[in-house]
Amino acid sequence: MKVGIVGTGLVGATAAYSLLMQGIGREIILVDLNKERAAAEAADLLHAVPFAHSLNIRSGDYPDLTGCRVVIVAAGVGQRPGETRLQLLERNAAVFRSVVPAILERAPETILLVASNPVDVMTHVTAIYAEEYGLPSHRVIGSGTTLDTARFRALLGQLAGVDPTHVHGYVIGEHGDSEVLTWSLTNVGNLPLAEFCRLQEIPFDETIRRDIDRQVRQAAYTIINGKGATYYGIGSALARIVHVILRDQRAILTVCTRRPQIAGVRDVTAALPQLIGGNGVLATFPLPLDDGEQAALQNSAAVIRRAIDELEATM
């Protein structure tokens, strides 16, 4: 099973490392405008193969993506000093305008997994470009709030003193400041979070809840301030999504994909719990949110839609 990664910066390279260490796929192709960088990353990763899993890892160009089941798109440009979010979006949209066709001309039946930020808008843009090549939107997936959900569960696992895999709660909406933590639906071992904490005599009040919300919502800012970028978490999230697709695991993940409407907001791309399998997004599940969460989701979808509107006005 062949996986392509376009863009071999910190996120793309770390995704490749996560795939290697978990033995996901059989062949990994690294593509980058900076061919020297891609070749160096491929060589470094190849030297880790004897300590991990037997995969073939090499650098290449777009023709080498032929036959890829999944292509991770981690390409894009960084924000310049004084540059607005819209200007950054315009430049990244221009990058994708060349990257997406180059991928689909060689791998027309692949699944595109978008990692570039702002991921909701860039996934929407990718779906528009991919549509011109006959690729349906359910085969264009963004990492969405997969990482935010993992952050939420990790922190709740620490609070509850349990393995985070037994914590069930989602972060939905924008991968950004307006994201929505679904506190009303969060449970541990099938018990509502508050009830679990009561039974275990674990302090849990509004102050603790606000602190966890802050840590989830501001995680990227905190990490970037400390070390310049985030990549381990998102690299692992991308590897998980690829694994689900390659194995047709039919897992529910909070990825983003283009939808006719979300919370009353038309034609928008935002994260919701989605059933993922070998053909991409198989189903989307609306959640029974409380009134405050529903209003927050509508606001989050509207934030993304406004960014899309601003970008489309320049395209």
Q: Which of 47, 138, 166, 175 is catalytic?
A: 175
Which residues sit opposite 70 in a β-bridge? 3, 111
**What region, left, alpha or beta, does residue 289 occupy, with left being phi > 0 and alpha being psi -120 to 50 degrees?**
beta
Nearest partner of 141 among 285, 280, 275, judged by Cα: 280
Which residues sit opposite 2 in a β-bridge? 27
Q: Is 243 a catalytic residue?
A: no
CA 235 vs CA 1, 21, 72, 198, 304: distances in Å: 19, 11, 10, 35, 23
Residue 67 exposed, middle or buried by CB count within 10 Å (0-12, 13-18, 19+): middle
What is the CB neighbour count within 10 angstroms for residue 268? Answer: 26
Nearest partner of 286 among 276, 268, 300, 271, judged by Cα: 271
Nearest partner of 12 among 56, 71, 52, judged by Cα: 71
Residue 89 exposed, middle or buried by CB count within 10 Å (0-12, 13-18, 19+): buried
Q: Please give the positions annotated as active site.
A: 175
